[in-house]
Amino acid sequence: MKIVAANWKMNKGVKETDEFFKEYGALVKGKKITNKVIICPSFTSIAAALEWGKKNGVSIGAQNVHNAASGTFTGEINAAMLKETGIAYVIVGHSDRRAMNGETDELVGEKVRAVVAAGMIPILCCGENLSERQKNKSEEVVKKQLLACLSGLDKSAKLIIAYEPIWAISKGDGVGPVATDEMISQMHQMIKEFVADVFVGVAPPLLYGGSVNEKNAKEVGSIEGVDGFLVGGAALCPKRFSGIVLS
């Protein structure tokens, strides 16, 4: 069983969410789904997604959370508020947040701990940019990210890690470049070994998040160490996303 997690980013309001699930439901009806499906919509569409998800075995998550429990943080949402909605997962440390909102590894670590403390499962993102890849610093960068983000976390904590090489992420169309099988295998093996060492022998599921789509999902999913996908652009289209889920 693979984990197929969708990050809709800033797309789809309530109406579009309902339309997506109506079409997606029709496409997978009667099909045997062996993969676990998680969809992370925008905050305003969580309720609509939850309603459909509970009836159809799809888990719902959020795309972000604040690290503090409460306070004067206008426009923010804490972990307890998200837990109260009924969601089970929260994406933390996505490259978009790191690049556009200046989120540091230390801040991401605080968010991870807040999500776990609230009884949800963080989907922790890590990955290097093109410059770091070209300088052969991929492993160094990812290890630094993980060490800071997992620091202080109880060894029994449940979490999912998503490796997203930033240079291989598409710009929304889901057809961007994908790292070679060898690159993915090497990084996933390194991450699993590193996290298992940090967590004393236990490594959480590890997703690949670099322009996975319905055409390459089967191949990428067959790479050793890949436990599933974090899907962006291709997850916005019911037909394309169902192709990944059923792969």
Q: Which residue has the tokens 């996933």?
A: 188
Quote the tokens at residue 108.
Answer: 């991401």
Distance CA 128, CA 141 (A): 6
φ, ψ dihedrals at 135, nearest 5°: -90, 10
Cα separations in angstroms, 166 against 92, 191, 214, 233, 240 = 15, 16, 20, 14, 22
Residues designated as active site: 94, 164
Q: Which residue has the tokens 């609230």?
A: 118
Cβ density class 204-215: b for 16+ within 10 Å, e for less:
bbbbbbbbbbbe
